[in-house]
Amino acid sequence: MNGRQPDDALPSTPAAVQAVAAREYAADQFVTRGGARGMAKRVASPAARKLLTRVITALGMLSSAVERAEGDRVAQGRTTSAELAALLARIDDLERLELTRREHVRALAGRVDALDPSGVSSDADDILDADGYVEFERRFRGSRESILERQRDAVQWVSSLVGSDAPALDLGCGRGEWLQVLKESSVPAIGVDSNTGMVEAARAAGLDVRLGDLLEYLEAVEPGTLGAVTGFHVAEHLPLPVLRRLIDAAFVALRPGGILLMETPNPMNIVVGASSFYLDPTHLRPVHPHFFQFLVEHRGFEEVHLHYVHPADASAIVGPDEVASAGGARVLEAASHAIFGAQDYLVVARKP
Q: What is the pLDDT of residues 61-78, one digit of tens each?
A: 666 666 666 666 666 666
SS3 288: coil
CATH number of 124-350: 3.40.50.150
Which residue type sits at 23? R
Check whether 105 has a pLDDT greater than 70.
no
In angstroms, rounded to a whole number, what is the distance separating the alpha carbons of residues 154 and 181? 9
In angstroms, rounded to a whole number, what is the distance separating the alpha carbons of residues 85 and 198? 65
In angstroms, rounded to a whole number, what is the distance separating the alpha carbons of residues 259 and 110? 33
Contacts of 118 (CB under 8 A, 6+ apart): 172, 194, 195, 213, 214, 234, 237, 238, 282
Q: Please state the pTM of the whole predicted model.
A: 0.60
In angstroms, rounded to a whole number, what is the distance separating the alpha carbons of residues 151 and 147? 6
Ranges of each domain in the chain: 7-93, 124-350
Check whether 4 has a pLDDT greater than 60.
no
In angstroms, rounded to a whole number, what is the distance separating the alpha carbons of residues 226 and 163? 13
In angstroms, rounded to a whole number, what is the distance separating the alpha carbons of residues 312 and 309? 9
SS3 269: coil
Q: Tens digit of pLDDT for each residue in 270-289?
A: 999 888 889 888 899 999 99
Query: What is the pLDDT confidence band of residue 120, given thresholds at 50, 70 and 90?
Result: very low
Residue 16 in contact with residue 66, Cβ under 8 Å? Answer: yes
In angstroms, rounded to a whole number, what is the distance separating the alpha carbons of residues 246 and 227? 16
Query: What is the pLDDT confidence band of residue 88, given thresholds at 50, 70 and 90?
Result: confident
Mean pLDDT of 238-249: 96
pLDDT of residue 22: 59
Q: Tens digit of pLDDT for each residue in 215-231?
A: 999 999 999 999 999 99
Q: What is the mean pLDDT of the chain?
A: 77
Query: What is the pLDDT confidence band of residue 40, given thresholds at 50, 70 and 90?
Result: very low
Q: Tens digit of pLDDT for each residue in 126-174?
A: 676 666 766 766 676 666 677 777 888 899 999 999 988 999 999 999 8
Check whether 54 has a pLDDT greater than 70.
no
Poorest-pLDDT segment among 223-232, 257-266, 302-311, 337-346: 337-346
SS3 311: strand
Closest CA to 170 of 115, 232, 114: 232
pLDDT of residue 154: 92
Query: What is the pLDDT confidence band of residue 352, given thresholds at 50, 70 and 90?
Result: very high
